[in-house]
Structure 1
Amino acid sequence: MIVVAIVAILAAIAYPSYQSYKVRVSRAEAQVVMLEIAAKMSAYKNSKGNYSGATVASIYGSTVIPSQGNALYDLAFSPSPTTETGWELIATPKTGTAQANNGVICVNDQNQRFWGKAAKTCVLSPTSTWDGR
């Protein structure tokens, strides 16, 4: 009986840490996908001469992350479709998922990155970061 109680206490302590870990990993995976999309946007500009008309679906093939399975983030360029000279890629957490209150993730054509735990909008600047520091 004592062993069962100790295991229950350890599980009660470990489970929230595990959930937090899963949220961080999902965010990191989304950031990797966003960097891949940014690289594809550079290739798009090299081949077309500008960013005009690019959409997330045409560049990435999907408008959600992950592209298969249970989607955690909605992806969109701002503006969409993109302008000739610039873009901002925004990943918005989907309502009803573990990521729901974990803030938006953003990157732009100047490689400025932003993530804020409770952020609802992007605040990109030369000093912004998405590592949570």
Structure 2
Amino acid sequence: MNKQRGFSLIELMIVVAIIAILAGIAWPSYERYVDRSYRAQAQASMHEMAQRLERYYSQTYNYGTDGSDQTPSAMTPALSPDAIPSSGTQRYALSVTVSGNGNNFTITATPSNAQADDPCGTLTLGQDGTQTAAANDCWD
């Protein structure tokens, strides 16, 4: 009697097809999760910068020089990082724009590289707490 060992080609192809279907469903969900986590990290850094700017304002009574559109670390040594994440492939570039005789600021997080196709687009945070994005529900 001839005993069969191992898998037949049909059984192997069925397993490969099931794995391909599961991967096709799981991969986009995973990518959205990663994008959302980097967006949350950028938002946290933006809020941290706003707090540091407020601390700077309480000491100097201004946020900086009008028309300054620069990276946060160049504006004030206490402000960093100017990229999200601070190491590895950059996902967001952060900048601060000061206006109104040094009484207003806008922090901008611009997506780049792998984050460039994020539907939320550029995120902004103003000194009055206004939060904007290209899509709804980006600041949850």
Using structure 2 for the length normalisation, give the TM-score: 0.74
Distance 2:94 2:80 in 1: 11
2:125 match: secondary structure: strand
Q: Does 1:99 align with 2:111?
A: no
> Quick one: distance in 1 between partners of 2:102 and 2:81?
22
Q: Which residue number corresponds to residue 88 of structure 2?
A: 69
Task: Name the aligned partner's letter for residue 117 of structure 2.
Answer: N
C-alpha contact (below 8 Å) 2:63/2:103 kept by paired residues: yes
The counterpart of 1:27, out of the listed 25, 30, 39, is 39
Q: 1:61: Cα distance to partner?
A: 2.9
Between the aligned partners of 1:23 and 1:83, the Cα distance in structure 2 is: 36
Query: Alignment identity in percent?
Result: 34
Give the C-alpha shift of residue 129 in structure 1.
7.0
Mapping of residues 1-133 of structure 1, within 5 Å: 1=12, 2-53=14-65, 56-57=72-73, 58=76, 59-79=78-98, 83-94=101-112, 97-102=113-118, 103-117=121-135, 130-131=138-139
Larger Rg: 2
For residue 83 of structure 1, report the CA deviation from its aligned partner.
Answer: 4.2
Identify the residue that residue 5 of structure 2 maps to in structure 1. none
> Unmatched 5+ residue regions in structure 1?
118-127
